[in-house]
Amino acid sequence: MSDLTHAEDIKKHVRVYISVFVALGVLTIVTVGVAYLELPIVPALIVALTIATAKGTLVALYFMHLISEEKVIRWLVGMSLGLLLTMFVLLTIYYYDQGGGILAGF
């Protein structure tokens, strides 16, 4: 009975990994498709970063096994991502405050 339960658990995990693999493949195809749309720079960056965030989240949650971690680990990862986002925002504000960037003429 134990071997049957173990085999079913493995099949369940394999299904999840295959689903994540298919989702990553679809998101890669979407990324390539969006590249052909020739969007202006700002919308293209927003779309590209959104897709990249979705793909990175899938990889971190399933392939790095963060989905089954303790709350402390998730909290630390969330704090790290929050700090990274804060640094990006501060860098962007500083960059545009100095007169550079693509929105300098607006």
| Angle between helix 2-35 and helix 41-58 axes, rounded to 10 deg | 170
Structural contact between residues 54 and 20, judged by C-beta atoms closer than 8 angstroms: no
- Tokens matching residue 90: 């501060």
Residue type, 53: T
Residue with tokens 């919308």: 43
Structural contact between residues 18 and 42, judged by C-beta atoms closer than 8 angstroms: no
User: Containing domain of residue 51, as a range?
Assistant: 1-67
- If asked whether residues 49 and 83 sit together in one domain, one would say no
Low-confidence residues in the chain, pLDDT < 50: 106
Count other C-beta atoms under 10 Å from residue 62's C-beta. 19
What is this structure's pTM?
A: 0.67
- If asked whether residues 42 and 13 sit together in one domain, one would say yes
Domain count, the chain: 2
**C-alpha span between 26 and 74 (Å, rounded):** 27
pLDDT at 102: 58
pLDDT at 18: 95
pLDDT at 106: 45
**38 φ/ψ sector (left φ>0, alpha ψ -120 to 50, else beta):** left
- If asked whether residues 61 and 22 sit together in one domain, one would say yes
